[in-house]
Structure 1
Amino acid sequence: MCMMCLARDPGQTIYDSHIDAPLTDGGISASLTDAGKPTYTADQIADYLAVGFWQDNGQQTRSFDVQAGGTITVNLNGLDATGKATALQALEAWTAVSGLNFTQSTNAMITFDDTQSGAYNSSYTSGTTITSSHVNVHTSWQSYGEYYLQTYIHEIGHALGLGHGGMYNGSANYDTQAHYANDSWQMSVMSYFSQHENPNVSSSFAYLATAQMADILAIQSLYGTPTNVQSGDTIYGDNTGLSQHGMGLNTGKAVTIFDSGGTDLVDLGSRDWNQRLDLRAESFSDINGKIGNFAIARGTLIENARTGEGSDHIGGNGAGNRLESGLGADTILGRGGDDVLIGGGGADTLGGGSGSDAFVYDTAGDAGDTITDFSLVEGDRVDLTNLFANLGYSGSDPVGDGMAWLAAASGGSWLAAASGGSWLMVDGGGLGAMAIAFLSGIASDASIADIIDVESVPVGPGPTDPGTGNVDTVITLTNIFALSWTEAGSLIRDTDGGTDTLDMSAVTYSTKVYLDGSVAGKMGSKLLNIEVGSDIENLLLGSARDHAWGNALDNFIDGAAGDDRLYGQAGNDTLRGGGGRDWLFGEDGDDVITGGAGADKISGGAGADRIDAGADSDKIYGQDGDDVIEGGDGRDTIYGGLGNDRLDGGSQADKLYGHQGDDVMIAGDGRDSLYGDAGNDDMSGGGDADKLYGGDGHDIMSGGGDRDFLRGDAGNDVMDGGGGDDKLYGGDGDDVMTAGNGRDYLKGDDGNDTLDAGAGDDRLFGGKGNDAMSGGDGKDFMKADDGHDTVDAGAGDDRFYGGRGNDVMSGGDGNDMVYGDNGDDVIDGGAGNDKLYGKADNDTLRGGNGLDFLKGDKGDDYLDGGAGDDRLLGDTGLDEIHGGEGADYIKAGSHDDTVDGGDGNDKIYGDSGDDTIDGGAGDDIIDGGSGNDVILGGEGVDVIKAGSGDDVITGGIGADRLLGASGADIFVFATLDDFGDTVGDFSLRQGDQISVSGLLQGGTVADALAQGLFALEADGRSSMLTFDSAGTIVELAYLRNLSSDTVLSEDWLI
């Protein structure tokens, strides 16, 4: 049960906070009626978990910056022993469907504890990237039994980036808060509704041991589809070798499996439940007495299944399945593929579906079945090898010896075998024989030799010899040959050279052909032998499921329609899959392979191969050699392998892996993922939102239009995100990164990188190294990090940080905010109302045009406000400050600073230290602060307060107001233009003096006093100091609190 999502700060979201209450106490309510909600597909539910939930909450999709096969660190030290063991089980459940590896670390991406009440997860995000997550499940939840593990799986789902199945959190009501009719645990562990709490779900109540079908699609949409989980031959059920909880299929919990490859088995052979098992992907099965409690995820191919002593129902899939049931009246449906069906004891109903199927009987107890769709045309057969052996038959011709025959019956024929002893069976028609199986639709005069399959049955390899071989021979086989196949037909041979063709295009049986003659092949149920040493180059196959192997020559093999498997072997071969889901293997040589329609699996093998996969979603492996591979239409996965390969994904969402070598990778249309791996790769994403990973080497990467993700990894990479909101990560090396228009994210990482985000509101991070960064137009955020960096934010209201190192930073047009951080930085705000912070060390700050704010902070800084009404703060250090044009506010800070106010009506504060201050033009207000300051008011009517200390004060041109404050101050009148000032606190007792020597044109003050050039005129309790300049009386300064009878002397006139 979950409480509301709580926003802590802009970077943190807490979601899924559970209260301490067991699941069964009524914390979640559900109606027994449906209010017309839509039924979602698995894809729609997955999209809501990964995207919709966050959008509905006004947030962004999120995930860790790793892909399938990558590593996420976890810290489990905050859990007790039970909690740690359960968390490890839950993490293993997510590994099994995502391919993510979880390793323990004290400095982890996901931390766990059990000290807070309830259960919840919280995550920090940066944009769409999760930077850390925290999972808490209180120890009291251990009392909830099997729900304890499910809670951990649920919370880790949040930690990885999944939301809930609907807009609920803390508690939920199905009628008002379920978005879709099938919102339940059956589809998602992130749902709040158990199978019974959703009235539209018919499955049994069961806690969950795994992520469910929609969860798997959702997590793979965030991290990619893994190829590294359960990729071998895996057993699920009895005798499983998996450590993952629930894979024994015996816990009573609901389970969904995802499997990457291998030949796999679902084994329920030890159980006597009436099982209903469906091997198709995205299907639900009923096992162990429950309904809908076992599912197979999309992309998973399970080949084989076995059940026990119940009345079971087994359904296969499109692969060649081996399906076996035990005792009981079972139903087995093979569906597509060349299947092997074993009904076991009991009167079973068997249907092979399409393909060349085998129905196997080992003992007399297996007899009595009905085969509903036996087809000679498809190449079906009944395998009696072990049955005849168990009956003691040792002959070589069971048909000729009368061991098996067909008996007519309504709607088909019974396949019967000679009876005797304890295994005598009598069918309803009174046959004194073993009624093995009723073959629906098969006439009683059909060839029994075409139906049964026993190892000792001598079948000829072909028709009468098509020819002893001529130059450029065409050997044509049809279904007619198979029907008249005899041992006397001898071998197919052609050893006289020429370009020869074995044409089987008209054959509708499933075939196996070995052109080198090393193994006996088959056409339907008959052997097809090619004499060793024959030199047949070309093979044309028919419309069924065919298997073919070439020879050492340059072969041309055409699979035509059907799900074929073609192997070129040695030589420069040409393989064509045609229609169907084909497997094509070029093997040695420079091969040309075309997949055609259908989801194909293609491997080039050694040599420089050319591969065109064609339509549908294909898997292509270039392997060794310099290969050229085109995926064509469909969601393709392409592996270049060794060599300098050219990979073209074509349309739709493709995955391209360059592996080793200098590869050229072109994604084309669709949301593609490109992995360059080792080598100097050239990667192009094309249209739509692509993901490009350069790997090792000096890579060239182009995302194209739309929202692209580019990671250069090691090497000196050149990266171009193109249009759209892109994310670029340089990785190690000296990278060049260009994003183009859009709201882009660029991170240089280690190395001397060049970052150019282009137009748009961008985020740039230089990382370690001496980086050059350009934000372009837009409101950019830039952080240069370590190194001596050059940063140009461009037009727009930007915010950027220099980080450590001696940086050169330019804000450009716009209202910018710039932080130099450590190092001797040079910062130019450019036009606009900027805020510049030098931080530590000796910085140079220039505001440029606009109303700027400059703060030097620590260090000996140089500040220039430029045009505009600026605020300049020197702070600590020996600073040099220039206000420039405009009415500036300047505070020099501690230490001995130099200040020039420039034009405009400035306010200047020297603060502590022996400062040198020039107000410049304009009516300035100057406060020297403490220290022995030298202050010049400049032009204009200035107000100067020198502050404590022995100061030298020059009012300059204009009627200035001068205050010396404490200390022995000197008021300077250097020229006659300086007249008209008021000294507000002149004090002889403090040792104040007036400097007039500049007026005397080389004369001395003593001479001037003797000549009576200076005088004090009474003005109340104060005096006016006058100077006789060639007969013109100039009123130099009004001296407050100085009596007119004060004696003029060189003690204070200097």
Structure 2
Amino acid sequence: MTKVKENAAIQLSAATSTSFDQINTFAHEYDRGGNLTINGKPSYSVDQAANFILRDDAAWADRDGNGTINLTYTFLTAKPAGFNNALGTFSAFNAQQKAQAVLSMQSWADVAKVSFTQAASGGDGHMTFGNYSDGSNGGSAFAYLPSGGRTDGQSWYLISDSYRQNVSPDNGNYGRQTLTHEIGHTLGLSHPGDYNAGDGNPTYKDATYAEDTRGYSVMSYWSESNTDQNFVKGGAPSYSSAPLLDDIAAVQQLYGANLSTRATDTVYGFNSTAGRDFYSATSASSKVVFSVWDGGGKDTLDFSGFTQNQKINLNAASFSDVGGMVGNVSIAKGVVVENAIGGSGNDLLIGNAAANDLKGGAGNDIIYGGGGADSLTGGAGADIFVFGASSDSNRAAQDTIRDFVSGQDKIDVSAISTLSALQFVNAFSGHAGEAILNYNQSSNLGSLAIDFTGQGAGDFLVGTVGQAFATDIVV
């Protein structure tokens, strides 16, 4: 490898950079728990929220001791004994309701050690589904927590002349969200607050903690807008069809995590291999609201088909702004997603401690790999590769920028040190702030090494495909 002689003894002064500030701001956008107060309410951590959702201590017992709660279910065809006539007229589920209920049950089985089998009886418990016609109690559906009574497992859905949303549940609509919500009750999850549709006129003001919204829990009544999220696109709202961040933590606390789900390499978003409708995007107009649960493998968030500016965070228990919505994609606690692909907008990508493959796509992107030996690709546009600590890229775990274009792209190390300048040299002499740029023309491979501590060796090292010059470095 040949050194870049023309850069020797060049001094590069500090420049104003906001790129790391943008990374840092978004990385902490959804901080929660501790002593935080949000909207005048205490902020709950994921575990605190899960505990509160489980405050009624309701759960099915594993009768056969096989480690999984095996539930059976029936779609009622006639009014059952003990039917409350105040509910009006009974009706059976239509074909679409049945199909969508199966998908909602599947979404719960994906994340926890529970299974659902259609049968007249049996298992560790039995669930039933039916419709009613009188909505005078103020609700659009209701279900019973498992408590050892005859109503365990029952869930009921309003269909009337004035309320039709339960007739045609589908991915992303309120009817599907309602199915997933009510099945959550039959599993033992309560609302994140002490409210019910039939009890007065509750609002978000009645929430116990700040994160009691549909941005965090499918069990909540309250709009995600209360936590500065936005699931509206094309003038229409979207809803989660599956358990969200806090729901996943809660049901796993009850029954254990299903680690066999998507335990191999999985793609979420465009080109999805997840096998679930809510994890798939097919066009720039797609609306995605989901929380990733994944059992292992090398996984990818692929948002390449979106044209809007996006912010993607690969850290567990984090949120991303995807496809023109805000805070609509999260990653469940304990999940490692390795890779992310941005779209054609000006995207911001944040990696995690794993070895990430981050691709910005078209647009002027800001990419931060974090820890691990990351592969960073800006794509078309003027891209900024940001480093927040020398440990983000060093000899032990070196990042590589795959498509660096001098005069267009930047390497931003301004957050690593308070040094006012870098001195580009041919060899380290033990002075803090010395930097070496190497480049091999035959291989088109280069590197940037910086001695931030004066130890006479580079404690920061990043590789490049393409040549970087001193003027491409932001300090």
Identify whether the pair has TM-score above 0.5, normalized to the shorter chain: yes
Contact 1:368 1:436 in 2 (8 A): no
Paired position in structure 2 for 1:313: 348
Secondary structure at the counterpart of residue 309 of structure 1: coil
Which of 48, 52, 61 pairs up with 1:48? 52
Deviations 1:174-196 (A, max 9, x none): 36521112321111111110112
Alignment of 1:83-102 (within 5 A): 83-102=97-116
Which of 298, 316, 327 pairs up with 1:292? 327
Paired position in structure 2 for 1:230: 262
1:63 matches 2:60: yes
1:368 CA displacement:
2.9
Paired position in structure 2 for 1:369: 410
What count of residue pairs does the alignment treat as equivalent?
A: 363
Which of 237, 240, 252 pairs up with 1:208? 240
1:138 matches 2:137: no
Partners of 2:415 and 2:42 lie apart in 1 by: 41
Contact 1:334 1:341 in 2 (8 A): yes
Paired position in structure 1 for 2:130: 113
Deviations 1:102-160 (A, max 9, x none): 12112261111224444111356329xx9841112234223687100000000000011
Secondary structure at the counterpart of residue 153 of structure 2: strand
Secondary structure at the counterpart of residue 117 of structure 2: strand
Deviations 1:560-581 (A, max 9, x none): xxxxxxxxxxxxxxxxxxxxxx
Paired position in structure 2 for 1:177: 206
State the AA in 1 paired with 2:363.
G
1:364 CA displacement:
5.8
State the AA in 1 paired with 2:101.
A
Partners of 1:258 and 1:162 lie apart in 2 by: 18
Paired position in structure 1 for 2:13: none
Which of 172, 188, 193 pairs up with 1:166? 193
Secondary structure at the counterpart of residue 328 of structure 1: coil
Partners of 1:224 and 1:131 lie apart in 2 by: 25
Partners of 1:418 and 1:34 lie apart in 2 by: 54
Partners of 1:204 and 1:439 lie apart in 2 by: 42
1:440 CA displacement:
6.5
436 and 452 in structure 1: CA distance in 2 versus 1, 3 angstrom threshold: closer
Name whichever structure is richer in helix by fraction.
Answer: 2
Deviations 1:913-972 (A, max 9, x none): xxxxxxxxxxxxxxxxxxxxxxxxxxxxxxxxxxxxxxxxxxxxxxxxxxxxxxxxxxxx
131 and 234 in structure 1: CA distance in 2 versus 1, 3 angstrom threshold: farther
Partners of 2:449 and 2:310 lie apart in 1 by: 25
Contact 1:235 1:265 in 2 (8 A): yes
Deviations 1:649-681 (A, max 9, x none): xxxxxxxxxxxxxxxxxxxxxxxxxxxxxxxxx
1:39 matches 2:43: yes
Alignment of 1:242-391 (within 5 A): 242-249=274-281, 251-351=286-386, 353=392, 356-362=397-403, 368-372=409-413
State the AA in 2 paired with 1:121.
A
Alignment of 1:650-729 (within 5 A): none
Contact 2:204 2:222 in 1 (8 A): no
Deviations 1:976-996 (A, max 9, x none): xxxxxxxxxxxxxxxxxxxxx
State the AA in 2 paired with 1:300.
V
Deviations 1:88-110 (A, max 9, x none): 22112212221422121122611
Partners of 1:249 and 1:100 lie apart in 2 by: 27
1:264 CA displacement:
1.0
Partners of 2:406 and 2:51 lie apart in 1 by: 51
Instruction: Tell me the TM-score normalized by structure 2.
Output: 0.67
Paired position in structure 1 for 2:147: 125
Paired position in structure 1 for 2:14: none
Alignment of 1:969-984 (within 5 A): none
State the AA in 1 paired with 2:223.
S
1:304 CA displacement:
1.4
Partners of 1:418 and 1:35 lie apart in 2 by: 56
Partners of 2:457 and 2:49 lie apart in 1 by: 52
Paired position in structure 2 for 1:187: 216
Contact 1:49 1:163 in 2 (8 A): yes
Gaps of 5+ in 2: 1-36, 77-91, 135-139, 232-237, 417-424, 428-432, 466-475
1:226 CA displacement:
1.9
Contact 1:73 1:110 in 2 (8 A): yes
Identical counterparts, % of pairs: 32
349 and 415 in structure 1: CA distance in 2 versus 1, 3 angstrom threshold: farther
How big is the alpha-carbon RMSD for the aligned residues of Structure 1 and Structure 2? Answer: 3.7
Instruction: Tell me the TM-score normalized by structure 1.
Output: 0.32
1:370 CA displacement:
1.2
1:61 CA displacement:
2.8
Partners of 2:58 and 2:220 lie apart in 1 by: 18
Contact 2:448 2:463 in 1 (8 A): no
Partners of 2:464 and 2:340 lie apart in 1 by: 22
Partners of 1:264 and 1:366 lie apart in 2 by: 33
332 and 104 in structure 1: CA distance in 2 versus 1, 3 angstrom threshold: same
Alignment of 1:150-165 (within 5 A): 150-165=177-192
Deviations 1:701-733 (A, max 9, x none): xxxxxxxxxxxxxxxxxxxxxxxxxxxxxxxxx
Partners of 1:157 and 1:202 lie apart in 2 by: 25
If asked which structure has higher relative contact order (CA below 8 Å, sep 6+), I would say 2
Paired position in structure 2 for 1:488: none
Partners of 1:274 and 1:356 lie apart in 2 by: 30
Partners of 2:156 and 2:407 lie apart in 1 by: 55
Contact 2:62 2:69 in 1 (8 A): no
Secondary structure at the counterpart of residue 246 of structure 1: helix
Name whichever structure is richer in strand by fraction.
Answer: 1
- Worse-matched range after superposition: 170-179 or 286-295: 170-179
Paired position in structure 1 for 2:96: 82
Secondary structure at the counterpart of residue 320 of structure 1: coil
State the AA in 2 paired with 1:301.
V
1:374 CA displacement:
12
State the AA in 2 paired with 1:204.
N
Partners of 2:354 and 2:361 lie apart in 1 by: 22
Contact 2:451 2:457 in 1 (8 A): no
64 and 252 in structure 1: CA distance in 2 versus 1, 3 angstrom threshold: farther
1:42 CA displacement:
1.7
86 and 365 in structure 1: CA distance in 2 versus 1, 3 angstrom threshold: farther
Contact 2:447 2:462 in 1 (8 A): no
Deviations 1:729-771 (A, max 9, x none): xxxxxxxxxxxxxxxxxxxxxxxxxxxxxxxxxxxxxxxxxxx
Contact 2:272 2:281 in 1 (8 A): no
Secondary structure at the counterpart of residue 54 of structure 2: helix
- Worse-matched range after superposition: 235-244 or 355-364: 355-364
Secondary structure at the counterpart of residue 295 of structure 1: strand
Secondary structure at the counterpart of residue 218 of structure 1: helix
Contact 2:62 2:68 in 1 (8 A): no
345 and 149 in structure 1: CA distance in 2 versus 1, 3 angstrom threshold: same
123 and 270 in structure 1: CA distance in 2 versus 1, 3 angstrom threshold: closer
